[in-house]
Amino acid sequence: METLVFALLNGVIYGLLLFMLSSGLTLIFSMMGVLNFAHASFYMLGAYLAFTIMEGTSFWIALFLAPVLVGLVGMVVERYGLRRVHAQGHVAELLFTFGLAYLIDEVVKIFWGRTAVNYRVPELLDFPLFTLYGAQYPAYRIFILFVAAFMLVALWYLLKKTRAGLIIQAALTHPHMVGSLGHNVPLIFMSVFGVGCALAGLAGVIGGNYFVTDPAMAVQMGPIVFVVVVVGGLGSLEGAFVAAMLIGLLQTSAISINASLADIFGFLGLGPHTEVGEITIASMAPMLPFLLLVLILMIRPRGLMGEREV
């Protein structure tokens, strides 16, 4: 029971963090028609910028300022990079985002070095919030939960309940028609790209000190975010949310399961001291999202809630 409760809590937090990253990515996919391979780099940029801002000021200023800066960088990238490359087609766009990911990686290494920086949880939130089954639960994790849940509600409200959100949704599916109705679609796209990057940056700000802030963090997070977007269904925000929670819970639960394959498949004759039998579920946790990806692509290529096939 104890393991289950902690796995659930951590799974929901990790899932919400994944959704923060994948919501921006899936919105940008709807707009461009291709995946933005540099998306996780904006997550990393958010963490590094927050680290630097926090050194000079405070975490709370970083929490606000770093995502805004990342969003502005994203808008500049869209306005002066992607928009020009867009005319050359999807392959050019894809290659552009590949190049951009490497560029941001190198810039981060030049400015902040090749090793992890000491981006720490702010002192104000560095305490155990409650004790559950004798174990202390960090307040910062609950803070992540609140920030992510606030972002989720704000994004939902913006997209579903405001006229601006309706225009964004319509522009993602019918850009020419929305333009003909007098709405500035290039400006909408630049804003969507900026907000998508800012959300990734926000995930970096609150996730960078929860995990580790180092130049490899984009490479580590990037593939899982792609899995979320593809499993949820390309372009579907609802799908991205379901997939993010699913993967968050799946991976976190698997990590906390000490059982080996022999414990589970012993009835099939798998011995506890064989090479396969000794493999633990916890050690298989990192591969589970990718296993899910492969299965989804085989069974339901348009993802859980998507409308177009990959």
Partner 1 sequence: MSLDTTQEPMLQVSGLHAYYGKSHVLHGVDMQIMPGEVIALLGRNGVGRSTTAKAIMGEVAPQGSIRFRGQEIAGLPNHKIARMGLGYVPESRDIFPTMTVRQNLMLGIKNMRKPGRWSIEQMLEMFPNLARRADNAAGVLSGGEKQMLTMCRTLMGDPELIIIDEPTEGLAPLIVTQVGEMIAEIARAGVSILLVEQKLSIALKIADRVYVMGHGEIVYSGTPAEFATRDDIRKEWLEV
- For position 185 contacting partner 1 by CB under 8 A, the verdict is yes
CB of 177 to partner 1, least distance (A): 4
Among positions 177, 259, 276, 295, the unique one binding partner 1 when judged by CB under 8 A: 177
CB of 185 to partner 1, least distance (A): 6
Burial of 282 by CB count in 10 Å (0-12 exposed, 13-18 middle, 19+ buried)? middle
Residues 6+ apart with CB under 8 A from 50: 59, 62, 63, 66, 119, 204, 205, 208, 209
Place of tokens 């609802």: 238
- Encoded tokens for 250: 């799946």
Q: CA–CA separation, 287 vs 186, rounded Å?
A: 39
CB of 169 to partner 1, least distance (A): 7
- For position 58 contacting partner 1 by CB under 8 A, the verdict is no
Span from 58-66, 175-183, 191-199, 298-306 in contact with partner 1 (CB under 8 A) = 175-183
Q: Which phi and psi (to 5°) does residue 114 adopt? A: -90, -10
Among positions 57, 88, 184, 258, the unique one binding partner 1 when judged by CB under 8 A: 184
- For position 170 contacting partner 1 by CB under 8 A, the verdict is yes
Task: Return the residues of window 105-164 that contact partner 1 according to CB under 8 A.
Answer: 163
- For position 281 contacting partner 1 by CB under 8 A, the verdict is no
Among positions 183, 238, 263, 300, the unique one binding partner 1 when judged by CB under 8 A: 183
Taking residues 217 to 246 in sequence order and writing x for each that binds partner 1 by CB under 8 A, - otherwise, the string is: ------------------------------
Alpha helices, DSSP H, located in 162-287: 163-173, 175-180, 185-208, 217-232, 237-255, 261-265, 281-284
| Number of residues engaging partner 1 in binding (CB under 8 A) | 18
- For position 31 contacting partner 1 by CB under 8 A, the verdict is no
Nearer to partner 1, 139 or 167 (CB): 167
Contact in structure between 253 and 70 (CB atoms under 8 Å): no
Among positions 123, 182, 268, 273, the unique one binding partner 1 when judged by CB under 8 A: 182
CB of 205 to partner 1, least distance (A): 33
Q: Shortest CA distance to 51 belongs to which of 234, 211, 183, 187?
A: 211
Q: CA–CA separation, 120 vs 136, rounded Å?
A: 19
Among positions 1, 123, 176, 267, the unique one binding partner 1 when judged by CB under 8 A: 176
Q: Shortest CA distance to 35 belongs to which of 80, 103, 93?
A: 93
DSSP string for 48-71: HHHHHHHHHS-HHHHHHHHHHHHH
CB of 199 to partner 1, least distance (A): 22
Positions touching partner 1 (CB under 8 A) are: 163, 166-167, 169-170, 173-174, 176-186
